[in-house]
Amino acid sequence: MDYIYELLNIAMEKGIGVQLDNNLNPNINSWCKTSLNFIMVNMNYKDKQQIPFQFAHELGHILNGDTSSAKLSFNSHAYNKTEYAAHVTGIKLLVSLYAKKAHELNYVKFMDMFAIPDRMTDVVITELNKKATQY
C-alpha cells in the first residue's frame, strides 16, 4: 500500500485527480481519462500485486502528455507505442520509489513485486542500473 500512497502524492503534486475504488469488478483494469486529468485505480483488481503498476502506468499516460477523448484502460498485453511508453514511465516511477526502500536492486524481485510483463525486462534492468549508479 505504501507505493499507492507515494503514487498518490506524485499525482497530487502534478494536479492529477485520482479515485481509489474498492468496489469495482476484480476483472476491470485501472484506467485514465487524459482529457480530464483523472485516473481510476481499481483497488479490488484480481492481481493485487499489479495494482501499483497499473496506477503508475496510467499516471504515465498523463505525464507523457497522451491525449484521448476515450478512457485509456490498462492492458499488460497491449503493445503499441503509446502503451509501451506508459509502461516505461510507470516503471521509472516505481523504480524511483523502490530504490529508496530496497536493500538490493534486484530486477526479478522488482518485476515479481509489481507483476510487470516479461517483455519489459530490459527496461527494468536499465532503470535499476541507472539507480544503482546514483548511489
Sheet holding 31-33, edge to edge: 17-21, 38-42, 31-33, 72-73
**Predicted local distance difference test score (pLDDT) of residue 78:** 66
Look at residue 103 and tell me whether its pLDDT is greater than 90: no
**Predicted local distance difference test score (pLDDT) of residue 104:** 85
**Predicted local distance difference test score (pLDDT) of residue 133:** 78
Q: At what angle do helices 2-13 and 51-63 cross, to 10 degrees?
A: 10
Containing structural domain, residue 24: 2-134
Segment 4-45, tens digit of pLDDT: 999 999 999 999 999 999 999 999 999 999 999 999 999 999
In the chain, the number of structural domains is 1
Helix (H) or strand (E) holding 41: strand 38-42
What's the burial of 60, exposed, middle or buried (CB within 10 Å: 0-12/13-18/19+)?
Answer: buried
Segment 46-102, tens digit of pLDDT: 999 999 999 999 999 999 999 988 888 887 666 789 999 999 999 999 999 999 988
Q: Are strands 31-33 and 17-21 parallel, antiparallel or unpaired?
A: unpaired
Residues forming a β-bridge with 38: 17, 33
**Predicted local distance difference test score (pLDDT) of residue 54:** 97
Global pTM? 0.94
